[in-house]
Structure 1
């Protein structure tokens, strides 16, 4: 008996099959198959031959590979009884539940008292396949590893692309050649982490940003993950994602993976990126008011740090409002005795020394400038020098002799009393002040990985969201240390990096857009001399890099010269005029012929217009700019193109090129097959080109 199941959208087909009553495997995933394709033949067609030195039959690469099937690679789950003895599951088919776009497969292991379910949901609009595994048992078990449903990787692929990073250097792309064995990455820091973003791309041979077949994966979990990309001895390849191993510290009778988001693209990395961007924006984030335009931010951190003086803060707010800011966010330093990062975390009471009349005078001033008000919290952390830690040292996670991080410990978020305390303190601030935004920070890794910590944090955020549905929340963790679809199902914005260096931001934003749309990606204009890199960057480049995403300012605006004020005001006004359609646009990475130029095209949802941002991060190896090809345009249509920042052309750009004088009209075919020749420029220059379909 052969069992088959099939899910389709306009782009792709996913076929699962099984021989007899064993676990199903993904036997086909790729371009859409004809409606009359015989899926049973697909199952047989996937059989590979055997020869000397092999088993008589190749074990299936199932959705949860089993050691009891003599599977030669990493199994889909590793479990032990409470006595510590390993349990080797042997599942048999129980039932299947099918919906027009979904499938749930259920299996049982009667001898071990186990039940396993794998669910798949294919979104026909975003093309994302959301899958999840659940394991249940008749008795308590210790879980070492549970993979989300295992997906195959193509053999016509030479490399895989995953993402690493560091503080102020997030979303760095790593390319690793496929070879026999495994690419094993595990984040055990207890949060998503700068170091191991839970994403993977598998491009087929010849794929680029704009063309070719690419498979994309993202694991939506905030507590540390494990990724396995393995090539078996017989050449087959598997991709596994799950929580970091041994994250469940206590025996239980039920365990579940988080959601694995997978997608197939036939038009390069951009096909994956657009699916992830749209799915996050339209399916995962729950907006308090989706119709409200994203406001221009002002954040106080790099202007004052802990040195809060109410008159100075009011002055900063007034200057920010003149530049076009619409939200003022009061960062760290407003509570307890918080004059540095050594004290007062968890003492969420307004500091009477800095705010003798409370926060209301500042909030009322900000509102009088037609800005809303946001505030900083770091709820999951505590300083040893705090009233809470002195009263409840047992509420801290980890041992007494643990290494501190930023002079702080983590609170035990699995403790209901801790969550109740934090809810009461945060609620008191929100109930008594007109606050519509929280910057929620997480500035240290955990002393030990524990899934219960993440689930406790989720529970607190969920409770606050229910109590204060109109308050937006930004996920920040020393910048980009907690960015994933799990936290973003509870929040509305991410602070991509603590680096406001526009050169570094240009690269980070370009890579992060594979997963994140504009509306969630905070990007701020920092000080003239960057506080994290020491680099001095001109205002034009800083402003346009911030305008690529959810724009804001994070510096002392009083340092700006008259020219800098004019430039920043002009760019901010441009962003405000365009943010509505850009917020729904697809961010498309362009294949740049010049390694020094990092370019993207933001294409409107209705294809009626686009904007190209072409940032020069370094000195070019050639003397003259090469044509930059655009993508996803109508080849038969005519487009009016115009260089927005023509005034930024410098004296060494001496030629009479198409974009330098006025708007031009060319075809989509020309733009995609020849491309735009940009004016010559120094490094740290951004060209901004608008296109309108005629």
Structure 2
């Protein structure tokens, strides 16, 4: 059983295959955390410690390890919930009511019921247990059962207690063109805050936490959680004076206030969380498998060609036809027209909001191009930025009140555009109808949804940070119900919307506008800790790269992009015969190995060399492969020993090293490994292996 309860002690034990999570109700009615770690079988073993004050400056409420601390009483710590009631009272005092258990094929769910002692506020703490994935999902549901409104000023989805000090905290930092830059810092006294205030998940931090006790890929304690929310979030990590580390993750309280009307219910974003005592690899595998099985749309992602770098805003029907024909010859399966096909769109200053086909660029309409693309056997995709409007457009002239604004202030433009007020029903209807018309009247298979600026002048309501992205979610869900075969890609000036909130509603992530193949190794490595490879779009683009101005061999560029869902963004009309032949070869190879990459297990292999090798393994069933990269030879003739992981010890594997084949046991390949030596700059290779017999 995944949920075990000792009713006499009021102790709840949540069990996964390898781990346990325990909490209980103490004599004051507080929900207190007891344990998170390796599996403990007997719920009877857990006791509720008696807490006493250290001093009057360290009251019991302050030192109690609460599952869901609220604002009020003698609490001065971080709190998960702050409410102002109709009469102005700003304190929650809850009492335990009871629990429910719900069972489904996918998970068991424990619902802990609390209520305020005086006001008609009901609080439900939800715990979904995904037993075989060693994961839980936590969220909170608030019910206003009164006849008056109440204001929710802060809501975190849960608090986590980790019984160690001096942990390592991992997240990412960055900016446009440099997203997903992994960092690790020591947790000491004071607080670590990660957040976003821009309205998108942002390029700067990401809504998750990883805390480890000197873990490696394959050993050590790792605690982690990822928020299922796009947009403004906050996370706090704090080492307390009482010997533990606390984490909270949820909605950002900055400029936030949710008015919960009489009879209304509000559900917080969920946190997918877990524990590994075998390092980061297990954490990644559990999250990746959960995403593949429960969140992502089934099926392999197509090889994509996108026309942006070939034409930018200079889109014409004839040029797009030429690109589509060439893309099909190279082996692409999906042709995507990027920005510049609509309105008076010849640059960033105009067009957004006027979603009609530009007649000068497409004198016979866009169906002429779509028909040509379909005749080539390709899927057809198109770029949109539905949440934005440019000031010179007809849409803005007709509806100047549709943007976020204050009547007494001049609204900011950023990238020459305003943000539409997606909390307005009429704006939601406009965006949905525009996209529904595109999909209903044209044979479109793929939508690349972009968002190129943060939100400002947010009008008079402080809940827009939440409601805006809910509107985006709802529109896409509704569109996919009506057009179930259409794939949606989440893009926000690159990787500004990578999170578990949008994943599953959208099908792909555009990982970064930086397509430099060497920079992408860092971006993709960091991404892989939390997010599934199947959703990671990666392109091969022209050199010199527009950001790095770096020249990199095409083989290296392909190998880097083949680590995710492959896309091509080059001006393929300028390809040499050598470029074309190599592209055909690599695309054909990717299609053969695509099930292993998109649906297999992913491993970040150890570099044992003084040279800066980057080694990544993928396995699925009896087959596998390794991508090896050497950006620069620093120490000549210094090889690397590649030690594979995830093999069957007793099985024999055939490993193809360029033109050489070796046959070794799984135990040998994992413990001893094989030597690899790349030379030069931007060298790379792809090594394939498969199980051939059992001993």
Q: TM-score, normalised by structure 1?
A: 0.92
606, 610, 626: which is aligned to 1:612?
Answer: 626
Question: Cα–Cα, structure 1 residues 158 and 376, in superposed 2: closer, same or farther, change >3 Å?
Answer: same
1:38 aligned onto 2:50: no
User: Is the Cα–Cα contact under 8 Å of residues 107 and 116 in structure 1 kept in the other structure?
Assistant: yes
- Structure-2 change in CA distance of 1:156 and 1:691 (3 Å): farther
Question: What's 2:482 paired with?
Answer: 467
Partner of 2:204: 195
Question: Which residue is equivalent to 1:551?
Answer: 566
Asked if the contact 2:17–2:133 (Cα under 8 Å) also holds between the matched residues in 1, the reply is no
Superimposed CA distance per residue, residues 358-395 of structure 1 (whole angstroms, 9 cap, x where no aligned partner): 01111111111110101111111111111111111100
Which residue is equivalent to 2:26? Answer: 19
Distance 1:52 1:593 in 2: 54
Mean CA deviation greater in 444-453 or 370-379 = 444-453
Residues 1:633 and 2:647 are matched in the alignment: yes
8 Å CA contact 2:61–2:75 kept in 1: the answer is no
Match for residue 662 of structure 1 among 660, 663, 688:
660
| Contact 1:59/1:69 (<8 A) preserved | no
TM-fit CA distance, 1:416:
0.4
Q: What is the correspondence of 1:209-248 to structure 2 with a 5 Å cutoff?
A: 209-246=217-254, 248=256
Please report how far the alpha carbon of residue 622 of structure 1 lies from its aligned counterpart in structure 2 after TM superposition.
Answer: 7.3
Cα 1:155–1:623 change in 2 (3 A) is farther
| Selected match of 2:266 from 255, 265, 268 | 255
Instruction: Find the residue that maps to 1:283 and give its secondary structure.
Output: helix
CA contact (8 A) 2:209 2:226 kept: yes
| 2:141 pairs with 1:134 | yes
Moved more, 608-617 or 477-486: 608-617
Query: Cα distance, 1:230 vs. partner?
Result: 1.1
Q: Do the aligned partners of 1:500 and 1:524 also contact (CA within 8 Å) in 2?
A: yes
Alpha-carbon deviations, 1:440-460, whole Å to 9, x = none? 111111114621211122222
User: Does the 8 A contact of 1:21 with 1:93 survive in 2?
Assistant: no
Q: Does 1:575 align with 2:586?
A: no
What runs of 5+ residues in structure 2 fail to find an aligned partner? 1-7, 459-463
Mapped to 2, the partners of 1:635 and 1:109 lie a distance apart of 57
Residue 92 of structure 2 corresponds to 89
Instruction: Give 1:247 deviation, angstroms.
Output: 5.2
Instruction: Tell me the matched-pair count.
Output: 667
Look up the match of 1:600: 616
- Answer with 371-380 or 683-692: which moved more: 683-692
- SS of the residue corresponding to residue 634 of structure 1 reads coil
Q: 1:500 aligns with which of 511, 515, 520?
A: 515
> C-alpha displacement at 1:51, in angstroms?
8.1
Q: 1:686 aligns with which of 680, 684, 687?
A: 684
Q: Is the 8 A contact 1:210 1:631 kept in 2?
A: no
Aligned with 2:357 (options 327, 334, 350) = 350
For 1:496-535, what aligned pairs fall within 5 Å after superposition? 496-535=511-550
Q: Shift of residue 620 of structure 1?
A: 3.9
Map Cα deviations across residues 651-687 of structure 1 (whole Å, 9 max, x no partner). xxxxxxxxxx511012222222232321132232222
Summarize the Cα distance change of 1:307–1:16 in structure 2 as closer, same or farther, 3 Å threshold: same
String of CA shifts for 1:473-494, please: whole Å, max 9, x gaps: 1001011101111111311111
CA contact (8 A) 2:596 2:618 kept: no
CA distance in 1, matches of 2:34, 2:51: 9
- Residue number in structure 1 paired with 2:192: 183
Using the TM superposition, give the Cα deviation of residue 144 of structure 1 relative to its aligned residue in structure 2, in angstroms.
Answer: 2.1
Deviates more, 1:568-577 or 1:393-402: 393-402
Q: Is the 8 A contact 1:50 1:58 kept in 2?
A: no
Instruction: Say which is worse superposed, 412-421 or 483-492, in terms of deviation.
Output: 483-492
User: CA separation of 1:368/1:217 partners in 2, compared to 1, >3 Å: closer, same or farther?
Assistant: same
**d(CA) in 1 for partners of 2:244, 2:222:** 17
Equivalent position to 1:674, from 672, 675, 678? 672
Given that 1:48 and 1:58 are in contact with CA atoms closer than 8 Å, whether structure 2 keeps it comes out as no
User: Which shows bigger deviation, 515-524 or 192-201?
Assistant: 515-524
Once the 2 structures are TM-superposed, how far is the Cα of residue 20 of structure 1 from its aligned partner?
Answer: 2.9
1:284 to 295, 300, 306: 295
Once the two structures are TM-superposed, the CA of residue 73 in structure 1 deviates from its matched residue by 2.0
What is the CA-CA distance between 1:39 and the residue it aligns to? Answer: 4.3
* Deviating more after overlay: 121-130 vs 488-497: 121-130
Report 1:369-408 matches (<5 A). 369-399=376-406, 400-408=409-417
In the alignment, which of 329, 336, 353 is matched to residue 322 of structure 1? 329
Any idea what SS the aligned residue of 1:121 has?
A: strand
Aligned to 1:312: 319
Distance in 2 between residues matched to 1:309 and 1:67, nearest whole Å? 59
Mapped partners of 1:56, 1:393: distance in 2: 55
Distance in structure 1 (CA, Å) of the matches to 2:62 and 2:89: 24
CA distance in 2: counterparts of 1:27 and 1:429, whole angstroms: 54
SS in 1 for 2:351: coil
Task: Provide the residue aligned with 1:66 in structure 2.
Answer: 70
1:653 matched to which residue of 2? Answer: none
Moved more, 389-398 or 576-585: 576-585
SS at match of 2:184: strand
Find the residue that maps to 1:486 and give its secondary structure. coil
Asked if the contact 1:377/1:441 (under 8 Å) is kept, the reply is yes
Alignment match of 1:75 (pick from 76, 79, 90): 79
* 1: CA distance, partners of 2:238 / 2:671: 38
Structure 2: distance between partners of 1:47 and 1:586: 45
Instruction: Kindly state the Cα deviation for residue 541 of structure 1 after the two structures are TM-superposed.
Output: 0.5
Once the 2 structures are TM-superposed, how far is the Cα of residue 439 of structure 1 from its aligned partner? 0.4
Question: 1:247 touches 1:451 (CA, 8 Å); kept in 2?
Answer: no
Q: Pick from 446, 449, 468: which aligns with 2:455?
A: 446
- Does structure 1 retain, via aligned residues, the 8 Å contact 2:238–2:246? yes
Q: CA deviation at 1:56?
A: 6.6
- Residue 357 of structure 2 aligns to a residue whose secondary structure is coil
Q: What's the Cα RMSD here?
A: 2.1
Indicate the residue corresponding to 2:442 in structure 1.
433
Q: Larger deviation: 508-517 or 350-359? A: 508-517
